[in-house]
Structure 1
């Protein structure tokens, strides 16, 4: 038997065989090499020595029969290991060359399965190399849409300590493709938590992927949870707008909101600076007008004009602003209404007066009247608590706002309050 050092094979497109010289050692080194080396039969060694330089030159056509000869000569486990390693490098090299020649052509990786299986099963494969082979076999199965097989290998690679950064997401995607959305979501949440704990912020695409798959599976609570995580991690104005529109403003939205609820959603868009264009500002102003809040409608329209998002030539917006200002002037002071609300037998007038004060930007008075409405009763407590939280948030009272939002129960108000709490958590 002849002996040569064990090979440390790479598990990408090439194995690294080209860097190892297959030569028979001199007798003086024999005992040292026998301690940790491979023992090849003379026939297998001779065939491998003929195949390796041809493979190293990337002459794959000429290497094919030479590697077949190695496979035919293989008798021992070590022989079979070398044969599988050479076959894997040959097939990988052929695929890489084909891809380089025509990047758009489909790639059939099926030829890699047999040598990879042999390398994984071989007792001669170095322990340090096996995790990479297992991972590569999982990727092969994933690309071939053999998801149960892919999951088996990916989880085995993880158990073996393989730390490729793509592995956690591949496990998630494999479970998703198998229909295990809940399991995939749990794995993805754990991966994100681990990345964030290590100081490496999880990519934004992770959140988008989870939202898309949960939404496709019609898992509304999970979709909402991922949307909140997304804007918590990446609280840009564009992301806030996307989330809130998907939640309650677009056709086929996750929640069916009435006008009162949409008004509070637009208030969150305004707070998060995610009102994007004239349509957003004018729709918000219309909801405020319909609710009898001309001061709020006027404020929103003026903001849209000041930022340029409502073009200066928008005649409809100008007419809406003029009507809102006239109505606000006509209504005058809220003091008499506030006095009647305080003496009323229930909290309905107090809630309406709180709304009017909020529309005027008097958030302290609004909060006072909302609390009075809750105390007197006879009102929708979930709606009033939502608006109490909004008023307190506008004053910068995060703790008070969160307490009010925590008191909101039932869909869709609790979900809306949840988005407000997420917004507060993103504020410095």
Structure 2
């Protein structure tokens, strides 16, 4: 989300006052006034006003300055003061554009626009249709000067006056954000995205990234997580999924503090979303599950990494992990014996452990059966079992059943992991 550049502001904010017909000014005092009624300029204002216009057309700014000073000195009525302010605003705008065109790298001082803008906004003779535009421009001037509270006042005034520039909502959001009101800014941005969606438009991806970056920098972890979920639902690419999951639970200072077994469930979601990016991801994942007694899952992950080319064939660690996992699979033997023992065990711990092993083999039907047995027998961490039950159901394609299992996970951080899996259930395919 970019701010409006200073040069663009100056150019866009030119009033076009040279088009005002000072020789025959017309100004209706109110709606009931006769259409032929005119507001007369005194000769003391009309003469220097015409001189100012002529000088501005010729880009003779010194002469225009003198003439506008004379207009201001002679102005008595609101309308005459309006003419003076409009001419001065045009003068200062054109001078800024000329200076910036002559030397684009030179610093620009827009503060000269503030006085005529304030006069135009306050003057009751300023046409109603223009006051909102002037208020917006005054707000943008304050914004560029990092005077964010002042900018917000003028932006609010512009909105109140019916100004409808498409940049106005974004400028309000940016001003709120830069003034430190992260909550207010992101709430406005969320409303803007909702409004766009309702009208059939898709909000730019940069909106989500902006809200995520600002919320994370402000250490607003729940809000950051909420924005991550909105972003990945709107833009579910493999790369974005990896960014979401790394920020959520893998990197240092992640949003969720996870132990190693819990990080495995994040890696499982990376695998489900095809977002394991390189050999580091594959090897860390495989090493974790192998050390947890899930060699079949380690073997499958290594083979997938090798097949995709993301793990180089000559990688020493991958070869060692694969050999170790293969040896452990042979030593463990078939799971059917554990399954029978789990059925007669006094609690559900063996059933849950065996279900984890079946999950690692991608045997989702067996893992679902044993996770449910574990919950029935009890004596297990229900959140852990429901999380893994949800993963097994999700990977088997039972989205409704998975959502029910994930909703049964109550305590953080496992509930946060379940929330990420639930987001995947509802997001479009990457």
TM-score (norm 2): 0.92
Question: What is the match of residue 230 of structure 2?
Answer: 229
Match of 2:416 in 1: 415
Residue matched to 2:168: 167
Q: Deviations over 1:128-179 (max 9, x none)?
A: 1111111111111112222221111112222222222222122222222333
Structure 1 distance, partners of 2:40, 2:324, is 93
For 2:13, the equivalent position in structure 1 comes to: 13
C-alpha contact (below 8 Å) 1:11/1:132 kept by paired residues: no
- Give 1:261 shift: 0.7
Q: How far 1:340 moved relative to its partner? A: 0.6
Alignment of 1:233-244 (within 5 A): 233-244=234-245
Q: Which residue of 2 aligns with 1:4?
A: none
- 2:256–2:416: 8 Å Cα contact kept in structure 1? no
Q: Following superposition of structure 1 onto structure 2, how do residues 70-81 of structure 1 map, counting pairs within 5 Å?
A: 70-81=71-82
The more displaced of 182-191 and 361-370 is 182-191
1:307-329 superposed Cα distances (whole Å, 9 cap, x missing partner): 11111221221221122122223
- Whether contact under 8 Å (1:38, 1:124) holds in the other structure is no
Equivalent position of 2:5 in the other structure: none
The residue aligned with 2:205 is 204
Superposed CA offset, 1:349-374 (max 9, x none):
11111110011110111111111111
How far apart, in 1, do the equivalents of 2:331 and 2:304 lie? Answer: 22
Pairing 1:393-412 to 2, within 5 Å after superposition: 393-412=394-413
Query: How many residues of Structure 1 are paired with residues of Structure 2 in the alignment?
Result: 414
Preserved contact between residue 236 and residue 428 of structure 2 (Cα < 8 Å): no
**In the alignment, is the contact (CA less than 8 A) between 1:47 and 1:73 conserved in 2?**
no
Contact 1:215/1:223, CA 8 A, preserved across alignment: yes
Q: Does 1:287 align with 2:262?
A: no
Deviation for aligned residue 1:342 = 1.1
1:376 paired to 2:373? no
Cα shift readout 1:59-88 (whole Å, capped 9, x = no counterpart): 333322222222222211111101111111
Aligned equivalents of 2:419, 2:124: Cα separation in 1: 55
DSSP 3-state at the match of 1:129: helix
1:389, 1:400 within 8 Å by CA — same for their partners in 2?
A: yes
Q: Which residue matches 2:94?
A: 93
CA–CA distance in structure 2, aligned partners of residues 217 and 311 of structure 1: 40
Task: Write out aligned runs for 1:329-408 (5 A).
Answer: 329-408=330-409
User: CA separation in 1, counterparts of 2:41 and 2:344?
Assistant: 100
| Aligned counterparts of 2:60 and 2:292: Cα–Cα separation in 1 | 78
Aligned to 1:61: 62
Give matches, 1:138-153, under 5 Å.
138-153=139-154
Are residue 328 (structure 1) and residue 329 (structure 2) matched? yes
2:119 aligns with 118
Measured after TM superposition, the shift of residue 215 of structure 1 is 1.5
Partner of 1:109: 110
C-alpha deviation, 1:382, in angstroms: 1.0
TM superposition shift of 1:194: 0.8
Per-residue CA deviations over 1:268-290 (Å, capped at 9, x if unaligned) read: 11111111111001111111111
Q: Is the 8 A contact 2:233 2:428 kept in 1?
A: no
CA RMSD of aligned residues (A): 1.9
Residue 242 (structure 1) shift: 1.2
In 2, Cα distance between the equivalents of 1:60 and 1:311? 70
Q: For 2:298 and 2:156, how far apart are their aligned partners in 1? A: 56
Please state if 1:44 is matched with 2:45: yes
Structure 1 170/303 Cα, relative in aligned 2: closer, same or farther at 3 Å?
A: same
Aligned-residue offset at 1:58:
2.9
TM-score, normalised by the number of residues in structure 1: 0.92
Does 2:264 align with 1:299?
no
CA distance in 2, matches of 1:362, 1:58: 80
Secondary structure at the residue paired with 2:40? strand
Unmatched tracts of structure 1, length 5 or more = 1-9
Distance in 2 (CA, whole Å) between partners of 1:62 and 1:272 is 69
**Aligned partners of 1:81 and 1:139: how far apart in 2?**
21
